[in-house]
Amino acid sequence: MQKFNCIIVEDEPLAAEILQDYVTQVSFLQLKAVCANAIIATEILRNNQIDLIFLDINLPKLKGLDFIKTLQRPPAIILTTAYHEYALQGYEHNVLDYLLKPIEFSRFLKAVNKLTTPAATTNSTQTDDRKYHFFNVNKKMVKVFYDEILYIESQREYVKIATRTQAILTKLALNEVEELLQNEHFVRVHRSFIVAKDKIEAYSATDVEINGKQIPIGRGYKDEVWEVLGN
């Protein structure tokens, strides 16, 4: 079975000790570090391949939810806290799960088992070298492979992510998705559209065509788009 490298970010020694004990009881988890704050965790993430973070929300120096915002490509995250009122806000950050203290082992196991199922909610990782992301859709995490995305369209405070088999709405800004997809095979063609370069079937001076849909090229993006398309 695949091993998942994890870290614990927790400033309460007893809570950290309980989580550490739970991790050692799960065969597919491998603990790499216990961090007393998010600053230490940042250094660990910089120097190690980490698949999962157990993250307390109320941390010194940098709060847990603010820490998530600093991560360009976060691993799977399980939030741990004594305060249930942060649950919805946590899921808006596409977390894997949300554990309320005191944490029972059975509940812990249910959360980490999501890593080994097809519906696992890892934020950004690879399966057989295929990158994917789990997006929050009506409080359910939906897995989308990057190489299946045709285009992303801004719809006010939401974005629509279109593939050949589905179109999902998730509450994100287009700029956030653009940052998530940076260095991948996507290009911003309009203030409201990002498209997959390899899915472009035809183009003109004013638009690109993907899966039969005409997507406009914005005036301010024309030079970049034409450079990408080889003109």
How far is it, in rounded angstroms, from Cα 160 to Cα 169? 5
- Is the pTM higher than 0.75? The answer reads no
Is the per-residue pLDDT at 119 higher than 50?
no
Architecture field, domain 4-125:
3-Layer(aba) Sandwich (3.40)
The residues of the chain that CATH labels 2.40.50.1020 are: 139-228
Which residues belong to CATH 3.40.50.2300 in the chain? 4-125
Q: 139-228 in CATH: which number?
A: 2.40.50.1020
| Percent of the chain with pLDDT strictly greater than 90 | 52
13, 48, 96, 25 alpha-carbon torsion, rounded to 10°: -60
pLDDT digits (tens, 9 = 90+) for 137-183: 887 888 888 889 999 999 988 999 999 888 999 998 998 888 888 76
